[in-house]
Each structure stands twice: as C-alpha cells, then as structure tokens.
Structure 1
C-alpha cells in the first residue's frame, strides 16, 4: 500500500487533475451534472482508460454526498429505478468494450461524446412528450453502455431530463441522484470483476477532496432564478474540456 500511494502521488499531472476535479465538482454542485463530462476528457490525456474510469467513480462517490439528501427528496423514485434497471442490463457490455479499447480511441470518443451534450442542448433539442416507463428504461440502457465504454453515463440522462418540461430544481436533482446511484452500480461490477486496481483507487480518493469542495461551493452558488446562467456556464466548461481532449492538439 505505501508503494501504491507513492505511485499515485507521483502521477504526472496529478495537480492538474485535482484542479479539474474541483471545477467538475463546482459545475456538478450548481447544475446537477458535469463531473464526468469535464473530468474524463482531461483524465484520458493522463491515465489509461480503465484507470480513468476507476479514478472518476471513486472521486464521484464522495463529492456529491453533501447534496444528495436534498436531491433525493425531489427525485421521482420510479423513474430512478427504471433508469438504474436499464443501466444494469447494458453496463457490462460497455465495460467489456472498454477493456479492449485503444487509449487514443478512448480519448477521442470521450471528447466527442462530451462535446455532443452542450451542442445538442444549445441547438434546442427538446422532448415534448411524457417521460414514460419505456423511454426512461431505454435511456438507462444507453446510459449504461456509454458509462461502461467511456465513463459517460450522463449524456442520455441529461438530454432526457433537460429537454423535458420539468422545472430546473427537479432536473438538477434527478440527474444528480441517478449519477450518484450509478457510481455504486459501477463500483459493484468492477469489484466483482476484480478490476479495482489499488493505484487508480488511491488517485480517485485523493481527487475526492477537491471534488467535495467543488460540490459544496457549487451548491452554495445555486439559485433557481439563475438557471440559464448556470446552464450556459456548464456548457462552456464542458465544451472547453472536450475540445482539449481531442487529439488534434497533439
């Protein structure tokens, strides 16, 4: 364990990842999403694909905890269970592909997926109908696949909720609660697969500290009346992170 901790602390770019984890937590705190969308394009430049996923999930388990009780009170429990059921069915397939993916393809795919979320939302994508059980279950399945193959379960869930007529506090709470529960699902599957290597686990635990601080700060900043401002800020930060991860920069 001491050798693994020394290896984790000696990781080139750890300080940079700590700053990114704080920023990701800040956005998550005031918008309800954004951790993976901001962190993964950056982490993919520093860590192997599976290590990036493990570090993310360990960091993300702790960061939102202060905000989860309030979010749970606003979340539709039935929709949450349907999302998680769909995720559980397809997540192992995504993980299977991740284990066989080249790092450069992982980095490019993560960045393009992350970039697609603000692009779709700024373009005005809107869902006008009811969030029926089939739609929610299917969205959970897509989220599980993307969560396994790229560490990004959020995009389909974000697009579903943010394009719905639900008010901003409910959207924020629903996305935040799903992503929190997803982390435990992923941890359980990785543990069953004996894939939780010590070094990326320790990296994730180290990064949890700035992420918690960012979540707390973001929650303090959140005001429902400033919904458009928060969304705009989140889109800009996510897009900048995604663009930085594209291999065109070298």
Structure 2
C-alpha cells in the first residue's frame, strides 16, 4: 500500500485530476450526466486509457450515491433496465477495442466525442414518436460500445432523452441510474479480464471524495425551472475541456 500511494502521489497532473473530478461531479449533480465528458479528456492527458476508465468507474460508483434515492423514485426504471441490457451486451466488445488502441488514438476519440456531443444537443434533434422498447435496447447497444471504447456511455442515452418529450426530472433520473449501472457493469467486466490494477483502483477511490463533493454541490444548485441555464453551462464546460485536451496542444 505505501508503494501504491507513492506512485499515486508521483503522478503528473494529480492536481488537475482532482480539480477535474470536482467539476465533473458538479456537472453531473445538476444535470444527471456529463461527468465522464468532463473527466475523460482530462484523465486522458495524464493516465493510460485503461487507467482513466478504471478511475472513472470506481469514483462514479460512489459520487452519485447521495442523489440516487431521489433518482430511483423519479426514474422510469423499466426504460433504464432495457437500455442497461443493451449496454451490458456491447460493453465487452467496446472494451476489447479500447485495449487494442494507442493512448494518443484514445485521446483523439474521447475529445472528438466530447466535442460532437454538445454540437448535436445544440442542433435541437427531436424524436417524431415515443421512445419505443426497440429504440431503448438499440441505444443501450450503442452506449455500451462507446462506453467500452472511450469510457463515455452517456452520449447516446443523453441524446435519446434530449430528443424526446421526457420531463426534465425523469430524464435526469433515468440517465443518472443508467450510468451507475454501466459503471458497475464495467467494474465486473474489467475484473473478469484480470486488468483491474491496484494503482488506478486506489486512485479512483481517492477521487471519489472530490467527485462526491462535486455531486452534492451540483445537486444543491439544481432547479427544474433553470434547466436551460444549467444545460448551457454543462455544454460549455464540455466544449472547453474537449478542445483543450486535444493532443495537438502537447
């Protein structure tokens, strides 16, 4: 354990990781999503791809805990379950791709997804009909692939709900519950592959504290009537993080 702590304290960019985690938690606390979109581009600058993914899923299991009871009550749990089934099927495939790519390629993929996400959301995409079970399963499959490849399972699900007429409180709750399920699934899959390493595991537990504090701060700011303001702030944060984390600035 002392050796592992020494390795963690010696990590380049540890302060940036902690600050990024708090900001990511705050964005998720008031919007129900966005933590990975903020954290992964930052983590990709300082950690190997798999370590970035491990720290994300470990800290994200603990960070949203204070907000989960309210999310459980507000969510459409049947929808969450269908999306989660699709995600669980595709996650191992996406993870296999992640393990095969170079770190720089990983950073470009993450930054590209982070930049595309707010652009698509600002385009005002709208579903012509209801969110059918088939659409829920399909979105889960796409989410699982993206989650395994880049640690970003949220964008497909976020786009689905943003394009629908789902009420803000239900949308926030559904996304929050789904992301927790995905994090737990990723922990199981990574553990079964034998790649759950001690340093990123402990680092993820350490980062869970600023993530928890960020979630609490974000939840305290959440007001349904101010959803547009919070959404625009979250999108702005994502775009800034995505741009500044591109490898071309190294």
Query: TM-score, length-normalised on structure 1?
Result: 0.98
Query: Once the 2 structures are TM-superposed, how far is the Cα of residue 128 of structure 1 from its aligned partner?
Result: 2.6
Aligned to 1:54: 54
Q: Is 1:145 the counterpart of 2:145 in the alignment?
A: yes
Write the distance in 2 (CA, Å) between the matches of 1:9 and 1:84. 36
- 1:197-232: per-residue Cα shift (whole Å, max 9, x none)? 000111111111100000001000000010100100
- 1:109-129: per-residue Cα shift (whole Å, max 9, x none)? 000001111100111112231
Aligned to 2:71: 71
The answer to whether the 8 A contact 1:29-1:218 is kept is: yes
The number of equivalent residue pairs is 250
The answer to whether the 8 A contact 1:13-1:46 is kept is: yes
The residue correspondences of 1:223-242 to structure 2 (distance < 5 A) are 223-242=223-242
The answer to whether the 8 A contact 1:95-1:149 is kept is: yes
Aligned to 1:44: 44
Write the distance in 1 (CA, Å) between the matches of 2:128 and 2:68. 28
Alignment RMSD (CA, Å): 0.8
Q: Is 1:168 the counterpart of 2:174 in the alignment?
A: no
The residue correspondences of 1:113-192 to structure 2 (distance < 5 A) are 113-192=113-192
Gaps of 5+ in 1: none
Query: TM-score, length-normalised on structure 2?
Result: 0.98
Q: Kindly report structure 1 stretches of 4+ aligned residues shifted beyond 4 Å.
A: none
Aligned to 2:89: 89
Aligned to 1:104: 104
Secondary structure of the structure 1 residue equivalent to 2:100: coil
Write the distance in 2 (CA, Å) between the matches of 1:128 and 1:217. 36
Gaps of 5+ in 2: none
The answer to whether the 8 A contact 1:80-1:178 is kept is: yes
Secondary structure of the structure 1 residue equivalent to 2:45: coil
Write the distance in 1 (CA, Å) between the matches of 2:187 and 2:235. 28
Write the distance in 2 (CA, Å) between the matches of 1:72 and 1:129. 25
Write the distance in 2 (CA, Å) between the matches of 1:85 and 1:2. 40
